[in-house]
Amino acid sequence: MGPFVGAGLRPRSLEHPVSWAVRPRPGVALLSAAPRPPIVSPAVSDLPDLRAHVRDDPPVPRDVVVVRGGPDSTPKIEGHAARTARAYVLDGQPVFGVSVFAALDDIGPASLDGLLGGKLSTYRVVHLVAAGTVVDSGFTLLPTFGRPHMTLVPVTPGRAADLLAVLGDPEPNPQYGETRRRPRR
């Protein structure tokens, strides 16, 4: 695929899978006979819960490439994460997250080529990082909505700069301007 620097990240193994460790909160009032209301912020409890849209995927191998259309900046990441928190909760709590895609396949729409020339073809530049690097930096990749979409959490306001550092410098998208349609359900 030509001069694409991030392509070197593509081979992957299953030896060190990435675990998305965000789990539903345990039940409350286990030691009390009197039932208590669940611990949910009333300010956000009317929002849809992202947990309902988490796919039952196997763990993401560490060397799978995570792709995000760019260029990103700290204010942009903060804004996008705040938009997610405005729209969703995760297990009843505000969820600050940003959308990314994982190049899970070697060919097809969920491959790196498929993403760059499909869903991300309107991006002149993209950020590429190994899934293992994302997780080692304290973030979690939640497989949400349609494969291979992921929600990267937590991107609370104080962590946007950390995420920007993890994403690294943007690289040219060699398939920018492709006129294939983004596959839709």
Partner 1 sequence: MITVDIAADLNTEDETGFVWTFLDEAPDPTVIVPGALVVAGDEDSPAVAVVVDLVPHPRGTRVHLDILPGALNSYLALARRLQETA
**Least Å from the CB of residue 30 to partner 1:** 30
Q: Is 36 in the site for partner 1 (CB under 8 A)?
A: no
Which residues neighbour 33 within 8 Å (Cβ) at sequence distance 6 or greater?
none
Please say which residue, 36 or 182, places its beta carbon nearer to partner 1. 182
Calpha distance 108→120 (Å, rounded): 14
Q: Which is nearer to partner 1, 62 or 68 (CB)?
A: 68
Which residues in the 51-70 window bind partner 1 by CB under 8 A?
A: 53, 68-70
149 makes contact with partner 1 (CB under 8 A): yes
Location of structure tokens 């491959």: 111
Q: Tell which residue, 81, 91, 82, has the closest CA to residue 47.
A: 91
With binding defined as CB under 8 A, does residue 139 bind partner 1? no
Instruction: Restricting to residues 152-171, name those near partner 1 by CB under 8 A.
Output: none
**Long-range contact set of residues 105-111: C-beta below 8 Å, sequence gap at least 24:** 105/148, 109/183, 110/147, 110/148
Residue 86 interacting with partner 1 (CB under 8 A): yes
Angle of CA points 184, 79, 142, to nearest 5° = 50
* Secondary structure class of 95 (helix, strand, coil): coil
Return residues touching partner 1 (CB under 8 A): 46-47, 53, 68-71, 76, 79-80, 83-84, 86-87, 98-101, 119-124, 145-146, 149, 176-182, 184-185
